[in-house]
Amino acid sequence: MDVSLTVWVLTVVGLSALIAVDFFIGRKPHEVSIKEAGIWTVVWIVLAVLFCVGLYVAEGGEPAGEFAAGYITEKSLSVDNLFVFVLIMAKFAVPTIYQQRVLMVGVLIALVMRAIFIAAGAALISAFSWVFFIFGAFLIWTAWKLVREARAEGQGHEDEAYEENRLLKMVERRFPSTPDYRGTKLLVVENGRRLITPMLVVMLAIGSTDLLFALDSIPAIFGLTDDPYIVFTANAFALMGLRQLYFLIGGLLKRLVHLSYGLSIILGFIGVKLVLHAFHEAGVHVPEISTPVSLGVICAVLVVTTATSLRASRKQAERESQAPRG
């Protein structure tokens, strides 16, 4: 898709305006109700659908289909990321009224990081077609790793806890911090000393986690489209509703017990698609997977995964309620 500089500028300005609106809505610390989260989640989804319709009218079915597949995939990966966000919030005991500010900053960090990754990925792909082999192999390996982690968690081999990375440990070791939160402040001065607050630490935790998430999501969407414009907009729309989605389905996350299996199938499927595309680019005659097939597979896997997850959770709840107490 040939996108002019003017369209790029207008898109970035438009998305920045939406982000500003989102930030304005959440600038005052407060507990987000289910109603508020639900309304804004619907608003962001409707905006993504309207953008997809606009692509269809302006460019045709292929770009619109690629955007839809990319958006759904990125949204699904974002939901899985919410599990880690829940663990981070619990680890650092973030007060409920400040959680939306943490998530908002986390989304901004994610957008910047993904924009950098998208630019780098697009440059590599345009210069070296064999990069598709690397992306494909990485996604297949990631899919296998997700299956192993899901099986380990299902067998109770892993505790559900967030482990701080080296960056956070270094920051906490070298910089003195306040024992508690000071509103939404990141730095404070007390008795002539500059101190960091737990708010800064938790934002670093979210930001460094976003970096790891981008390593999976960017190759995944490049497996569905190699158009940087579609890759960027699909990521942006998927991330902008993440904050509201966190509060809307926070209680539902624990019931999506098969989500990791579903995502592993999707990532593995896209990995195979990338490898086939790489062979095709190298002149080898192999079948290629079309965008409609990709979109159908992704949607089908998510529907089945959600249905089986809710069914398994319901049966587990019934067994626990029938178990003898005492």
Specify the length of the chain in residues.
326
Instruction: Give the global pTM.
Output: 0.77
Tens of pLDDT, residue by residue, the chain (326 residues): 778 889 889 998 998 888 777 777 666 666 777 787 788 888 889 999 999 999 999 888 899 999 999 999 888 887 767 777 777 887 788 888 888 778 877 777 777 878 888 888 778 777 777 788 888 888 888 888 878 877 776 555 444 556 666 767 777 777 888 878 887 788 888 877 888 888 888 888 887 777 777 777 788 888 888 888 998 899 888 887 777 777 777 666 667 778 788 888 888 888 888 888 888 777 788 888 887 888 888 889 888 988 888 888 888 777 777 766 55
In this prediction, residue 109 carries a pLDDT of 79
pLDDT more than 90, % of the chain:
8
In this prediction, residue 157 carries a pLDDT of 45
In this prediction, residue 155 carries a pLDDT of 55
Q: What angle do CA 256, 262, 266 make, to 5 degrees?
A: 145
- Other residues' Cβ atoms within 10 Å of the Cβ of residue 186: 14
**Cα dihedral: 148, 149, 155, 161 (round 10):** 170
Going by the DSSP 8-state scheme, the letter that residue 179 receives in this structure is S
**Element spanning 146, H or E:** helix 131-154
In this prediction, residue 161 carries a pLDDT of 58
